[in-house]
C-alpha cells in the first residue's frame, strides 16, 4: 500500500505572515521541508495542500516554479481540503506534515509508516501525548478514516488545524497508535516556526550544520546539549499556544518581534490593562464603540483614543471635512490656507496670544515650546511639573537620579540615550509645592517654567497665581502644557476659566478629534524670540490636521462639548461614590470630571484594577479605573456600565473580607505599572 505526504501550508499566518516562503540560508521554508521529505524511503508522492485564497497565489507560483505538486481547497475547512486532495491524487495512506516544521525528520516519517503498517492502524501520531520536540509532529492515517471524518465531522472539527485529532476524540471506534519519543524531555524543545523568535532559532540551527540540510533528530539533540542557551530563546512559548490565542494576541506577539516596544504609545500597551487578553487592535471605531479584529464590539469606558476624541470616534462632520480636503490634495509645494485660518481661530479664542506654531504631536509641540522659551529667556534651565513627552530636554531630569521623574512619568525611568551633557538642565517640582519650585529658581538660573494646569487633582488656583507672579518677577517664561486639559472644561485652555495667563500654551489631543494636530500659542514678545531658531518640519504643513481642527472647533462650539463631558463625568463620579459606599470599598477619586479616575485603596489595588478590566471585557466594555468622556457617551451607557461595575465591586468587597481570593478569580497576569498620571 502506497504512502503519500500532504504538506499543509498557507501564507496567512497571523503571528508570522508568509512564513512558509521565509528563507533559511537562502532557501524558502517550504522548499527545505520538501527537500528533506524527499529523503523518505517509504513515500511515493509529496504534495502541498493550500487554500484557494488569493493570499496563497505567491506560494502556488513558487510551487509551480519548483515543479512541486499542489492542491487548493477551502481555507477554513482544513479537513475538507485534505480529503479532496487525497481523493484527487488517489492516496490510500496519508501522512500529514505542516509547513511550520522545517526540521521534519524523514527517518521518523519512515519509522512511523512502517509501524503504522505493522500495527494495521487507522491513525498513528506522536501528538498525544506530546513527547517529541514541537515541530517534528507527524500524523499517518488511512484514506478511509479521512473519508469517514469528512462525512461525519462537525464544524468545530473541520476548523481544527490537526485535521483528525479533535474528530477522533469524539469518535473512538478506530485503532489509534500513539508514538513516544526515545529522548527524555525532548518535548521542551520548540523547533516549529510560529513567531519571529522561532525562525531565528531555526536559522541558527541550520547555520550550525551548514551546508548539510538533512540532519535529523539525533543530530539536533546532540547540538542542543552543546548549545543550551540558544534553545532558550523561544522556550517561553507554550505548546500549541496558537490555538488559544485570538487574532489580536497573535498580532501583538508579532508586533513585539518587529516594533520597538511592541507599539508606538505606552498608554496603549495591552499589558497596562489585561495582559494576554486585552483586545489591543481595532478594526473599526464609531461613537464610543470599538470593534476588535474578531469583529466583537465594546463600549469604550477607558482612554477614548487617549483623550483625542471628545466628539466620539469617526465624527461625521470632521471626517467629511477631511475627506473633502483629501480630494483636493493633502500636500503640495505650496502651503495650505487652513493653517492661517486655524491660527486666527485659536488666537481669537485666546486673546492674550499673538502668534501660533503648529505641529502634529504633543511631544514635539512640547519640545518646540521649550526651544522658543529658551530662545526668548536666553537661559537654558527648565523647571517643570507634570508629564511633557519623551524628548531629551525632559528625560534629562533623570540623568542625575533615576527617581527625579517618578512623580511625573515612570518610576525609575532610565534616561538611556539622553546626552549626559544635559545633566542639571531640567528640574522637576511637585504640583502645589510652591516652596519647592522657589528653591529651584533661587538655586538655578531657570529660564523656563513648564507645567500642566492640573494633573490628578482640581486646579490649585492659589498655587498657579504664585507661579505666575514668580515667573513675572524673575523674567521666566511660563508654559502651560494643556495637551490633555485643553477643551475638557472650557472652549480652549483650562487656564481661561482660571484667568491665569501663561506666556505659551500648548493645545493638542482633542483639537483634531483623532487627527494629528497640536498648537503652540504665545505672546508676541516670547514667540518672536525664536525667529532665528530653526523650527521646521515637512509634515507640519499637511492639510488634514488643520482642516480637522477647524471643523472640530466648529462642532465643539455648537455642541458646547466641554459642558456635556463635564456633566457626564460628574455623573460617573457619583456612580463610583455610590458603589464605593454600597460595597464599603475605599476609593480615591482624582482628576477633572471629564477625565476622572479612581484607585481602590488596598494592597491588592492593581489586582483589582486588572480584575475590573477582565470582567468588564466579558460584558462588552473596555474599562479599567479611568475614563476619558466624550459626547458620544450617554446616560444609557453609564447605567449599563454601573450595573456591571456593581457586580464586580461586590466580588472585590468579598475579596477584601477574605470570602473570595482575588488570585483565584483573576485569570490573567496583573497589569503592569502605568504612568503615574491619567495619560
Each residue of 648-657: pLDDT tens digit?
Answer: 999 999 999 9
- Classify burial at 193, counting beta carbons within 10 Å of its beta carbon; exposed 0-12, middle 13-18, buried 19 or more: buried
Question: pLDDT of 9-28, one tens digit each?
Answer: 999 888 888 999 999 999 99
C-alpha cell at 152: 461525519
pLDDT value of position 156: 65
519-538 exposure pattern, b = at least 16 Cβ within 10 A, e = fewer: bbbbbeebbebbeeeebeee
Domain range enclosing 427: 316-559
Q: Are residue 630 and residue 544 in the same domain, yes or no?
A: no
Asked if the structure places residue 241 within a domain, the reply is no
pLDDT value of position 409: 61
Asked if 415 and 399 touch (Cβ cutoff 8 Å), the reply is yes
pLDDT value of position 679: 34
Q: Are residue 281 and residue 329 in the same domain, yes or no?
A: no
Question: pLDDT of 605-617, one tens digit each?
Answer: 999 999 999 999 9
Alpha helices in 230-303 (DSSP H): 247-258
Alpha helices in 446-508 (DSSP H): 461-474, 495-498
C-alpha cell at 613: 478590566
Q: Does residue 160 surpass a pLDDT of 60?
A: no
pLDDT value of position 613: 98
How confident is the model over 247-271, as a mean pLDDT?
89
Which residues 6+ apart lie within 8 Å of 173 measured at CB? none
Give the Cβ contact number of residue 565 at 10 Å.
28
From 559, 578, 610, the end of a domain falls on: 559
Q: Rounded to an integer, what distance in angstroms lies between the CA atom of residue 585 and that of residue 579?
A: 8
Q: Rounded to an integer, what distance in angstroms lies between the CA atom of residue 36 and that of residue 231?
A: 22
pTM of the model: 0.83
The rounded percent of the chain whose pLDDT value lies above 70 is 96
pLDDT value of position 157: 58
**pLDDT, greater one: 255 or 4:** 4
Q: Are residue 278 and residue 380 in the same domain, yes or no?
A: no
pLDDT value of position 501: 98
From 559, 579, 606, the end of a domain falls on: 559
pLDDT value of position 412: 64
Q: Residue 216: which CATH number?
A: 3.90.550.10
Question: pLDDT of 496-532, one tens digit each?
Answer: 999 999 999 999 999 999 999 999 999 999 999 888 8
Question: pLDDT of 72-85, one tens digit each?
Answer: 998 888 889 999 99
C-alpha cell at 215: 540532519
How confident is the model over 182-196, as a mean pLDDT?
92
pLDDT value of position 607: 97
Q: Does residue 55 surpass a pLDDT of 50?
A: yes
Q: Are residue 604 and residue 624 in the same domain, yes or no?
A: yes
Asked if the structure places residue 242 within a domain, the reply is no
Question: pLDDT of 626-635, one tens digit each?
Answer: 999 999 999 9
Q: How many residues does the chain have?
A: 679
Q: Does residue 364 surpass a pLDDT of 50?
A: yes
Q: Does residue 410 surpass a pLDDT of 90?
A: no
Q: Residue 500: which CATH number?
A: 3.40.640.10
Q: Does residue 236 surpass a pLDDT of 90?
A: no
pLDDT value of position 411: 65
pLDDT value of position 629: 98
Q: Are residue 18 and residue 123 in the same domain, yes or no?
A: yes
Q: Are residue 34 and residue 175 in the same domain, yes or no?
A: yes
Q: Does residue 563 surpass a pLDDT of 70?
A: yes
Asked if 14 and 247 touch (Cβ cutoff 8 Å), the reply is yes
pLDDT value of position 284: 97
Question: pLDDT of 457-481, one tens digit each?
Answer: 889 999 999 999 999 999 999 999 9
C-alpha cell at 451: 507645567
From 525, 559, 593, the end of a domain falls on: 559
Q: How confident is the model at residue 678 (pLDDT cuts 50, 70, 90)?
A: very low
Q: Rounded to an integer, what distance in angstroms lies between the CA atom of residue 423 and that of residue 400?
A: 6
3-31 exposure pattern, b = at least 16 Cβ within 10 A, e = fewer: bbbbbbbbbebbbbeebbbbebeeebbbb
Q: Are residue 566 and residue 428 in the same domain, yes or no?
A: no
Q: Are residue 506 and residue 642 in the same domain, yes or no?
A: no
Helix (H) or strand (E) holding 622: strand 621-623
Q: Are residue 367 and residue 435 in the same domain, yes or no?
A: yes
Q: What is the longest distance spanned by two Cα atoms in the chain?
A: 97
Question: pLDDT of 207-223, one tens digit each?
Answer: 999 999 999 999 999 99
Q: Among candidates 170, 220, 216, 210, which has minimal Cα distance to 190? A: 220
Q: Are residue 345 and residue 410 in the same domain, yes or no?
A: yes
Asked if the structure places residue 251 within a domain, the reply is no
Q: Does residue 65 surpass a pLDDT of 90?
A: yes
Q: How confident is the model at residue 398 (pLDDT cuts 50, 70, 90)?
A: confident
Q: Are residue 297 and residue 323 in the same domain, yes or no?
A: no
Q: How confident is the model at residue 158 (pLDDT cuts 50, 70, 90)?
A: low
Q: Which residue has 527617581 as its cell numbers?
A: 403
Q: Are residue 536 and residue 614 in the same domain, yes or no?
A: no
Q: Does residue 677 surpass a pLDDT of 50?
A: no
Q: Does residue 56 surpass a pLDDT of 90?
A: yes
For the chain, what is the mean pLDDT? 93
Q: How many domains does the chain have?
A: 3
How confident is the model over 628-648, as a mean pLDDT?
98
Question: pLDDT of 312-321, one tens digit each?
Answer: 999 999 999 9
Amino acid at each position: 500500500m502506497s504512502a503519500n505526504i500532504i504538506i499543509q501550508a498557507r501564507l496567512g499566518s497571523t503571528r508570522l505572515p508568509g512564513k512558509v516562503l521565509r528563507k533559511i540560508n537562502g532557501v524558502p521554508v517550504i522548499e527545505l521541508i520538501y527537500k528533506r521529505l524527499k529523503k523518505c524511503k517509504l513515500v511515493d508522492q509529496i504534495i502541498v495542500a493550500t487554500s484557494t485564497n488569493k493570499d496563497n497565489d505567491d506560494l502556488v507560483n513558487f510551487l509551480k516554479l519548483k515543479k512541486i505538486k499542489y492542491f487548493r481547497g477551502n481555507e477554513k475547512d482544513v479537513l475538507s481540503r485534505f480529503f479532496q486532495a487525497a481523493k484527487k491524487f488517489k492516496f490510500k495512506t496519508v501522512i500529514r506534515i505542516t509547513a511550520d516544521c522545517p526540521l521534519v525528520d524523514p527517518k521518523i516519517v519512515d519509522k512511523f509508516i512502517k509501524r503504522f503498517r505493522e500495527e494495521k492502524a487507522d491513525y498513528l501520531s506522536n501528538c498525544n501525548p506530546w513527547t517529541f520536540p514541537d515541530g517534528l509532529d507527524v500524523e499517518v492515517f488511512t484514506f478511509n478514516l479521512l473519508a469517514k471524518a469528512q462525512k461525519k465531522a462537525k464544524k468545530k472539527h473541520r476548523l481544527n488545524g490537526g485535521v483528525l485529532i479533535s474528530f477522533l476524540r469524539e469518535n473512538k471506534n478506530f485503532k489509534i497508535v500513539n508514538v513516544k519519543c526515545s529522548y527524555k524531555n525532548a518535548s521542551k524543545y520548540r523547533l516549529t516556526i510560529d513567531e519571529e523568535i522561532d525562525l531565528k532559532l531555526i536559522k541558527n540551527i541550520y547555520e550550525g550544520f551548514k551546508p548539510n540540510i538533512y540532519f535529523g533528530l539525533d543530530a539536533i539533540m546532540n547540538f542542543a546539549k552543546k548549545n543550551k542557551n540558544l534553545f532558550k530563546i523561544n522556550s517561553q512559548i507554550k505548546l500549541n499556544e496558537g490555538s488559544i490565542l485570538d487574532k489580536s494576541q497573535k498580532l501583538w506577539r508579532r508586533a513585539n518581534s518587529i516594533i520597538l516596544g511592541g507599539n508606538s504609545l505606552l498608554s496603549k500597551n495591552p499589558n497596562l490593562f489585561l495582559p494576554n487578553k486585552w483586545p489591543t487592535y481595532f478594526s473599526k471605531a464609531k461613537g464610543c464603540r470599538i470593534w476588535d479584529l474578531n469583529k466583537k464590539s465594546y463600549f469604550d469606558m477607558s482612554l477614548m483614543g487617549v483623550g483625542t476624541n471628545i466628539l466620539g470616534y469617526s465624527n461625521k462632520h470632521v471626517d467629511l471635512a477631511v475627506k473633502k480636503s483629501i480630494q483636493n490634495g493633502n500636500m503640495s509645494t505650496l502651503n495650505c490656507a487652513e493653517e492661517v485660518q486655524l491660527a486666527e481661530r485659536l488666537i481669537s479664542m485666546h486673546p492674550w496670544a499673538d502668534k501660533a506654531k503648529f505641529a502634529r504631536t504633543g511631544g514635539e509641540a512640547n519640545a518646540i515650546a521649550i526651544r522658543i522659551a529658551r530662545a526668548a529667556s536666553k537661559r537654558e534651565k527648565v523647571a517643570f511639573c507634570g508629564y511633557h513627552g519623551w524628548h531629551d530636554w525632559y528625560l534629562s531630569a533623570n540623568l542625575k537620579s533615576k527617581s527625579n521623574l517618578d512623580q511625573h512619568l515612570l518610576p525609575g525611568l532610565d534616561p538611556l540615550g539622553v546626552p549626559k551633557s544635559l545633566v542639571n538642565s531640567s528640574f522637576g517640582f511637585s504640583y502645589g509645592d510652591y516652596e519647592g519650585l522657589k528653591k529651584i529658581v533661587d538655586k538655578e538660573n531657570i529660564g523656563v517654567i513648564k507645567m500642566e494646569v492640573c494633573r490628578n487633582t482640581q486646579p490649585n488656583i492659589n498655587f498657579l497665581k504664585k507661579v505666575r507672579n514668580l515667573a513675572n518677577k524673575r523674567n521666566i517664561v511660563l508654559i502651560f502644557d494643556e495637551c490633555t486639559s485643553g477643551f475638557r472644561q472650557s472652549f480652549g485652555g483650562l487656564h481661561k476659566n482660571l484667568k491665569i495667563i501663561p506666556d505659551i500654551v500648548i493645545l493638542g489631543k482633542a483639537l483634531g478629534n483623532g487627527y494629528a494636530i497640536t498648537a503652540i500659542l504665545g505672546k508676541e514678545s516670547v514667540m518672536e524670540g525664536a525667529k532665528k531658531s530653526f523650527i521646521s518640519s515637512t509634515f507640519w504643513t499637511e492639510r488634514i490636521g488643520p482642516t480637522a481642527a477647524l471643523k472640530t472647533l466648529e462642532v465643539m462650539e455648537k455642541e458646547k462639548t466641554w459642558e456635556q463631558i463635564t456633566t457626564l463625568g460628574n455623573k460617573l463620579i457619583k456612580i463610583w461614590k455610590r458603589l464605593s459606599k454600597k460595597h464599603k470599598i475605599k476609593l480615591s477619586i482624582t482628576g477633572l470630571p471629564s477625565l476622572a479616575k479612581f484607585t481602590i485603596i488596598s494592597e491588592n489595588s492593581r489586582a483589582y484594577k486588572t480584575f475590573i478590566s477582565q470582567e468588564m471585557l466579558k460584558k462588552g466594555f473596555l474599562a479599567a479605573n479611568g475614563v476619558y468622556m466624550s459626547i458620544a457617551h450617554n446616560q444609557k451607557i453609564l447605567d449599563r456600565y454601573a450595573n456591571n461595575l456593581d457586580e464586580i465591586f461586590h466580588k472585590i468587597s468579598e475579596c477584601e473580607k477574605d470570602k473570595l481570593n482575588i488570585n483565584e478569580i483573576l485569570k490573567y497576569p496583573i497589569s503592569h505599572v502605568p504612568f503615574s498620571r491619567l495619560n
